[in-house]
Structure 1
Amino acid sequence: MKTVLKWLLRIVLMLVLAAAVVGVWKREEIQRLLAVNSLFSEEKIVHNFSHMDQAFLTVPLPRGNGPTWELPYGPAYDLPEGGRDWIEQRAVTSLLVMQDGQIRFEEYYLGTGPDDRRISWSMAKSYLSALFGIVMNEGAIASLDDPVVKYAPKLKGSAYESATIRNVLNMASGVTFDEDYLDPNSDINRMGRVVALGGELDDFAASLKDSFAAPGEVWQYVSIDTHVVGMVIRGATGRSIPDLLTEKIVQPLGLERDGYYVTDGAGVAFVLGGLNFTTRDYARFGQMILQNGLREGRQIVPAEWIKESTWPSAPTEPGKIGYGYQWWIPVGAHEGEFLARGVYGQYMYFDQPRGVLIVATGADRKFREPGVNEQNIEMFRKIAQSL
C-alpha cells in the first residue's frame, strides 16, 4: 500500500512540475489569451483600448525624424443640441472635429487623453485601402481583376481560389465567415484567439474552404477579406505591411507619436483592425484623405484612387449603407461623403465639400444595437452642417 501511495505521489508531483514548466513556457500566450477573454469587459474596455500592446504582439510604426504636421486651432465650436448626451450614451472616448484644416473641437472622455494610442479596429481597413492604391499606382499590381492567388499562392485550394482582388476589396468574396463578435465560437473570435496565441493568419485564411455565393455576387462584411488584401500586397511587393505603411504613409504624414500594429505569431500585421494611433494622428491621416491624398504639396495617395475607393461599388442591398474598397458610404450620401468605421465606436467621417473631418474613438459595448450606426452618422452630419 505504501508503495502504491509513493508511486501515486510521484506521479502527482511530476504532473505538477510539468504543469509548472508549461505554465512558464506558455506564460505570455496564456496571459494574452486571458487578456483577450476580458478585452471588452465593462470594467476594462476603456483601458484596454489604449493599451493593446499589453495584450498582443506588436510591431512599431515609427514616425521618423521629420517635422510634425501642425494642426492649427480655429475658432472655438460647441456641439449641436444633443451632442453631449450622445457622447455619454455612446461611450465616446475622444472627439476631434476639423474644418478647412483647423481643429474646431477636441475633447477626451472616460479618463483618456491626447497621448493615448487608441485601437483603430476596422478603421485600419481604410488605411490598407490607401496603401493598396499607392502600390498599385507604382505598378506592383497589374489589375483589380487579377485573381488573388496570383499574388497570394498560399490561398490555392481555399475558398479564395476563384476570387479577384476587386472582390476582396469590395467584401464580396462569397467566403463563409461568421462575424458575430458576441459568439465566442464565431470565426472572428476564433481568429482573435489565433492572434492571441501566436498563430498565423495566413494559415487561418488558407484554411477557409466554404463559400455561400460566387465571388462578386453578394456583399457580406467579411473581415478576413482584408487580410487577403494584405497578403496580395505582401506577395506583390515582397515587403511587410508595416514597412510599406511606414514608408509610404506614416512618415510622410508627420505624426506626433509612433504608432504600432498588432501582429500575429509570425509578425504579420493584423491589417483588418490592429492599428494604434493617437486621435490627432488619426486626424492627420484623415485630413490627407480629405485633401484627396495631398499633404503640403506632396501627393501621398493617388487622388483617383481615393475617388474610386470611396465610391459605393460593392453589391450592397438597395437602400442600405454602401461600401467601396474598404470604405463605407452612408445612405443618402452626397459626393465626397464617406467614412471609415470600427467596432465599439471608432469613426473617421468625411464631408469633402464642407471641408469637414470628424474623428471619434469609443468603447461602446452597445455598438451592435439596431440604429446605433445610423445615430452616429446623423450626429456627424449634424456637426458638419452646423459648423
Structure 2
Amino acid sequence: MGSELPTATLENWREHPHSIWGFTHVDSLIPVAAIPTAPPVSTLRPGKPLDLARLAIVWAGSRRSAEAALEETHTDGFLVLKDGAVVAERLINQTATDRHIVFSVSKSVTASLAGILVKDGKLDPEAPVSRYVPEVEGSAYGDATVRNVLDMAVSIRFVEDYLDPQGDVARYRAAMGWNPPGAIASADGINAFLTSLPKAEHPHGRRFHYVSPNTDLLGWIIERAAGENFASLLSRLIWKPMGMAQDAFITIDRHGAPRTAGGLCISLGDMARFGEMMRLKGRFNGQRIVPEEWIDDILHQGDPAQWSRGEMVNLFPDGRYRSKWYVPDPSSSVLCAIGIHGQWIYIDYDAGMVAVKQSSQPIPADEALDNLTYAMFRAIAGELR
C-alpha cells in the first residue's frame, strides 16, 4: 500500500516512483496545518457493484476495460458513488485512511468556502481584491476583483509550466516550501510571492488564464473576510458538519500561510463525500453546507468567451470555468475538479454519479491520460444512467 516505498524526500517527492509514497505522506516532508473532523462519521453505504473489468472504454481508436484504464492512468485510489452508494472502490497504492494530496482539487474546495462567506455577507465577489488584502496594491491583483480571481480571469504575467526548473512555478514552489531551500531564488513565503506578480497587457476578465497563485490569494482573501485562519474555517464549516472520516491537512509555508491552491491532503472517502455534497447541491449529512445558489451559479454562469480565449480549450472545447470548477460541456450535467498528476472529482447530475480518483501520474499535466480518464468517467456514467 502507500507505505511500501518510503523513499521520497523534499527534492524528489513529486517524481515517479517516489511520488507513490510521497503523495500519501506529505506531512512527513512539508509543514502542515490540521483540518480536524468530529464524530459521528457520515457513512457511505454499499450499492450494486459495478464491474470495472467488463466495462469497455473506447478511446483514441482503441478499446480497454475501465480496470485497465485505472492501471494505465497510475491510479492510487478510485471510488464511485451512485445516488450516494458505493458501487466501485479500488485502493491500489494507499489505504482508506491515507490522506493523499489532491493538488488543484484543493482549489475547488477552497472556493466552496468563498461561497459560504458570500451567502453570509462576509465576502463580495464583485469587490476589488484590495478591499480584503490591501497588500496587493501595485501587483497584478491591485485592480482585479474577487470574481476575476475565482474564475482565473486575472491579467497576470505567470507561466504555469510545471517542468521548467528555472521558471515561475519553480520560484513559486520555493516560496511555498515545496522544494529544498536554495535551489532557486524566490520570495519569502507565499504571500510575498503573490504581491510580487506583475500584470499582463490585456484587461482583467478578458480570458481564462490558469494561474495557481490566484487560488492562494483566494485563501488569503477568505481568511481576511472571515477573520479566521483557513484550516480552522474549513474544519468548522465543512469537515465537521459533513462528518468526514479523517482529519485532513494542508501544507503551509514557513510563515504559516496555507497552500490553498494545491496543498490539501484528504482521504479517498472524504473526497467522495465532498463530491456527493456538491451533487446534492450543497446538502450533506442532514445539513446545508454550501449554498445551492453558489453551485447553480457554477453550473450555469461560466463565461464561454473567457474560456474560448484560454489555453485549455483543447481539453474541453465547449467548456466553462467558474469558481474553481470545470463545466466540460454546458449542454450536459457534468462538473469536474481536476488536479495535476491525475486527481479528479467527476460529478454527473443526470447519472446520479460521483467519481473520485487519486493518482501518481509521472507527468504533472498529461493531456492523453486526462482524456482517457475523462472517457472512462463518461463510460461509467453511461452504465449508471
For this structure pair, what is the TM-score category when the shorter chain's length is used for normalisation?
A: 0.7 to 0.9
Partner residue in 2 for 1:262: 251
Runs of 4+ in structure 1 off by over 6 angstroms are none
Tell me, in whole angstroms, the C-alpha distance in 2 between the residues paired with 1:174 and 1:257. 38
Partner residue in 1 for 2:103: 121
Task: Return the TM-score normalized by structure 2.
Answer: 0.87
Tell me, in whole angstroms, the C-alpha distance in 2 between the residues paired with 1:302 and 1:347. 22
Task: Return the TM-score normalized by structure 1.
Answer: 0.87
Deviates more, 1:350-359 or 1:289-298: 289-298
8 A Cα contact 1:148 1:232, kept in partner: yes
Q: 1:100 aligns with which of 66, 70, 83?
A: 83
Tell me, in whole angstroms, the C-alpha distance in 2 between the residues paired with 1:334 and 1:222. 27
8 A Cα contact 2:17 2:362, kept in partner: no
Q: 1:273 aligns with which of 239, 262, 273?
A: 262
8 A Cα contact 2:77 2:90, kept in partner: yes
Pairing of 1:280-299 with structure 2 (within 5 A): 280-299=269-288
The offset of 1:212, in angstroms, is 4.0
8 A Cα contact 1:50 1:118, kept in partner: yes
Q: 2:225 aligns with which of 205, 221, 236?
A: 236
The offset of 1:50, in angstroms, is 0.2
Tell me, in whole angstroms, the C-alpha distance in 1 between the residues paired with 2:109 and 2:297. 15
In structure 2, give the amino acid aligned to 1:45.
Answer: S
Partner residue in 2 for 1:39: 13
The question of 1:213 aligning with 2:202 is answered: yes
Q: 2:345 aligns with which of 337, 344, 348?
A: 348
List alignment gaps of at least 5 residues for structure 1: 1-33
The offset of 1:333, in angstroms, is 4.5
When you count helix as a share of all residues, which structure comes out higher? Answer: 1
Partner residue in 2 for 1:10: none
Partner residue in 1 for 2:354: 357
Pairing of 1:46-61 with structure 2 (within 5 A): 46-61=20-35
The offset of 1:366, in angstroms, is 3.5
In structure 2, give the amino acid aligned to 1:76.
Answer: P
Deviates more, 1:145-154 or 1:111-120: 111-120
8 A Cα contact 1:200 1:264, kept in partner: yes
Partner residue in 2 for 1:160: 141
The offset of 1:369, in angstroms, is 3.5
Deviations 1:262-306 (A, max 9, x none): 111111211001111110011111111110011143111000001
The offset of 1:322, in angstroms, is 2.2
Deviations 1:299-337 (A, max 9, x none): 11000001112446141117353211100111x354431
Pairing of 1:1-387 with structure 2 (within 5 A): 35-64=9-38, 66-79=39-52, 80-81=55-56, 82-109=65-92, 111-141=93-123, 143-196=124-177, 197=181, 199-311=188-300, 313-314=302-303, 315-317=306-308, 319-330=317-328, 332-366=329-363, 368-387=365-384
List alignment gaps of at least 5 residues for structure 2: 1-7, 57-64, 182-186
In structure 2, give the amino acid aligned to 1:359.
Answer: V
8 A Cα contact 2:320 2:330, kept in partner: no
Tell me, in whole angstroms, the C-alpha distance in 1 between the residues paired with 2:162 and 2:277. 31
CA RMSD of aligned residues (A): 1.7
8 A Cα contact 1:292 1:303, kept in partner: yes
In structure 1, give the amino acid aligned to 2:326.
Answer: W
Structure of larger gyration radius:
1
Structure 2 residue matching 1:287: 3-state secondary structure: helix
Structure 2 residue matching 1:129: 3-state secondary structure: helix
Tell me, in whole angstroms, the C-alpha distance in 2 between the residues paired with 1:126 and 1:89. 26
8 A Cα contact 2:300 2:330, kept in partner: no
